[in-house]
Amino acid sequence: MNAVLGESIGVFIGLTLVLTGGCAFLMGQAIANTWRPWWQLVPYSILLGATNRFLSFALFGEPLLAVVPYIVAVAVVLGFAGFGFRLTLADLMVHQYPWLYRRHGLLGWRATGPDT
C-alpha cells in the first residue's frame, strides 16, 4: 500500500485528497466557467500532480521521483477536476440557456422541447 500511495496514508489523505483535491475541484470549476474544453484539465492535472509530489517531498520527506505515487496523485487530481468541471458545466448550461435545457441529475442536462 505504501508503494502506491507514498510513505503514509495520513499524508495521502491530507495532502492529496483534501488539499490537492480541493484545488483540483476549483481548477475544474474555473475551466468550465471560462467555457474551455475538458481536455485542458489534463495538462493542468499533470502540473498539479507534480506540485503534490513536490510538497510530499519537501514537507514529509517522501521520495521526489516516485512514479507510482505520482500517477496515483494525477489520477486523483483528474477525478476531482473532472467532477468540478462537469458539475459547473451542467449548472452553466441550465442557468444560461433555460429555454433550451433543464437539469437531468447532478452532472447532466437534457434538451427541452415539445417532445421531451
For residues 61 and 57, what is the distance between their CA atoms, to the nearest angstrom?
A: 5
Place of cell 493542468: 44
- Position 101 in a domain: no
- Position 35 in a domain: yes
> What predicted TM-score, i.e. pTM, was given to this entire model?
0.89
For residues 61 and 70, what is the distance between their CA atoms, to the nearest angstrom?
A: 15
- Position 113 in a domain: no
- Position 90 in a domain: no
- Position 107 in a domain: no
For residues 19 and 79, what is the distance between their CA atoms, to the nearest angstrom?
A: 14
Q: Report helix, strand and coil shares of the chain as percent, to nearest 5.
A: 70, 5, 25
pLDDT tens digits, one per residue of 55-69 = 999 999 888 888 999
Domain residue limits at 12: 2-84
- Position 116 in a domain: no
> What's the number of domains the chain is made of?
1
pLDDT tens digits, one per residue of 26-52 = 999 999 999 999 999 999 999 999 999
- Position 93 in a domain: no
- Position 99 in a domain: no
Direct distance between the N- and C-terminal alpha carbons of the chain, in angstroms, rounded to an integer: 49
The per-residue pLDDT for 2 is: 62
The per-residue pLDDT for 10 is: 87
